[in-house]
Every structure is written in structure tokens, then in C-alpha cells.
Structure 1
Amino acid sequence: MEQYIEFIGNNAILSVIWLALVAMIVASWFKSKFSAIAQVNPQQLTLLVNRENGQVVDIRPAKEFNAGKIAGAVQLSAEKAKQSDFAGLEKYKTKPIILVCTTGMTASGIANTMHKAGFEHVYVLNGGMGSWQSAGLPITAGK
């Protein structure tokens, strides 16, 4: 124990950095455990749409959306979503909404914004369109 105290005394900056890293890891773990936003895989997305009338909302740029989308998906630009402009989606406030982006990273932040705006059941497709296509599931032409 004395060695630890001596190390901390001699390496204060390293000790502070180490404590900060541990705190960030613990905070990240708690955030993921207690987040209101769930990640779903392609099969779970399909079940949400088919059994619970879920709506897929694609936040990829229009060019990517028009190149191929999940059947029934509606497009919402990430810029509008970041500004909490959810016009046209109010009718889905009580239904499951599954956000889809290219990799799943952008959708997580927007999902939190939607949840704060009153959308009750918001999900994110884990891995985005990449995971959908990797699972061999169909895509349709946009628009």
C-alpha cells in the first residue's frame, strides 16, 4: 500500500489521468446500461415493424437513401433531426421508431433527442444499413 501512495505522490499527473479514465469508463457503462434507447439487430427491427407497427426512419443523406432503403422506411435528414424538427413523425410518438443511419453512430444521438421530444419507443439499428445488408436482407429503391 505504501508503494501506491508513493507512486501517486511522485506521479500526480499520471494518477489524475488514470482516475479520469476510470471515471469516464464507469460513466459510459452506466449510460449504456440505463439508456432509454435500445439497440436492435436486423431481426429485431423486422419484428418491431411486423408485430408492433414500428416505423423505420432513415437519417442517411438523400443520395444514400435513394440508392437503397429498408422497405417502408421514411427519410428524415440528420440536420432536421439534430434541430429537433420531427415534422411528419408526430403520428408515430407512441409507436416504435427504429432509426437507421449508415453505421449506427449518428442515429444514437438523434434517438436521444427524439426521446426527449416525447417519442416513447425509440430504437437504433445496431450497425446501421451495413448490418442490414450484411444479414442479406432486402433493400428497395428510395423515394
Structure 2
Amino acid sequence: MDRFFEFVGNHLYLAVGFAVVTVLLLRDLVESLLRKYKLTTAQQAVMLLNQEDAVVIDVREPQEWAKGHIVNARHIPLGELDKHLVELEDFKTQPLIVTCQSGTRSPTACKKLMQAGFEKVYLLKNGMTAWEDAGLPITKSK
């Protein structure tokens, strides 16, 4: 044990970095175990759209949306989601697929939707980047 403290004393930056990485990994693990929404791949999302009449909620900013989006997706920027929950009430029992550009903003939207009582919320893993990489169709608003 004395050697451990000697090592930490001699390599403080390394020890602090290791501790920070460990805490971040544990936090991510706990969050993934406790989350109530599900992850879906682009191919699984297509199956949800075709078989279960899922609704796509795109939480990207308007300039990102204008570059292309999933056909029939509803555009609700993340910052405006709370104001638009009422218009989504009809879809409480339908699968909702939430997407952003890379999958980093979608978890916040998924959490809000789950808290608002939506039953089947899916996060499109890696967002529109994964959708486009899979060669799936996008459309542009006119």
C-alpha cells in the first residue's frame, strides 16, 4: 500500500487522470442501465417506421434540418421541445424515434419525452450521421 501512495505522489497527473476517466465511465454505465428509452439503429428505425407507424422527432437546429431530414419527420428544435409537447399528445402510445445530427442532443429530448409520459421512445444511435451512412433516404424542405 505504501508503494501505491508513492506511485500516486510521483505521478499525480496520471493518477488524477485515471480517477477522472474511471468516474466518467462509471457514470456512463449507470446512466445506460437506468435510462428508460431504447437505442435503435438506422435499420431498426426503418422497421419501426414501416411496421409500427413510428413518428420521427428531429431535434436539430433549423439550418441542420434544411440540409436534409428523414421523410415525414417532425422538426422540433431541442430548445423548443417543452412548448411542443402538447401537439405530440396524440402519439403517447406510438413509437417515437428521436434524432439529432450525431446522437448527442437526442438523449435530452428522450428524457423529456419519457418524463412527459410517452411510452415508446427510441434514440436513433449516432443520429442523422448513421442514417445517411446507411444510405437511407433524406428529403429537403421546400
Q: TM-score range by the shorter chain?
A: 0.7 to 0.9
The separation in 2 between residues aligned to 1:62 and 1:27, in whole angstroms, is 32
Give the alignment's Cα RMSD to 1 decimal. 2.4
1:13-92 to structure 2, matched below 5 A, reads 18-81=18-81, 83=82, 85-92=84-91
* Alpha-carbon separation, structure 2, partners of 1:4 and 1:67: 54
In structure 2, what is the Cα distance between the partners aligned to 1:60 and 1:28? 23
Q: Kindly provide the amino acid, as one letter, of the partner of residue 43 in structure 2.
A: Q
Verify the 8 A CA contact 2:76 2:84 in the aligned structure 1: no
Q: Shift in Å at residue 36 of structure 1?
A: 1.2
Q: Decide whether aligned partners of structure 1 residues 120 and 63 sit closer, same or farther in structure 2, where only a CA change above 3 A counts.
A: same
Report the counterpart of residue 136 of structure 2 in structure 1: 137
Counterpart secondary structure, 1:99: strand
The answer to whether the 8 Å contact 2:69/2:140 transfers is yes
TM-score normalized by structure 1?
A: 0.82
Write out aligned runs for 1:91-102 (5 A). Answer: 91-102=90-101
TM-score, length basis structure 2: 0.83
After TM superposition, give the deviation of residue 24 of structure 1 in Å: 3.0
Give the fraction of aligned pairs with identical amino acids, expressed as a percent: 31
SS in 2 for 1:88: helix
User: Displaced runs of 4+ in structure 1, greater than 6 A?
Assistant: none
The CA distance in 2 between the partners of 1:50 and 1:108, in whole Å, is 23
> Could you list the runs of 5+ residues in structure 1 that have no partner in the other structure?
none
Alignment coverage as a number of residue pairs:
141
**CA distance, structure 1, for counterparts of residue 36 and residue 2 of structure 2:** 44
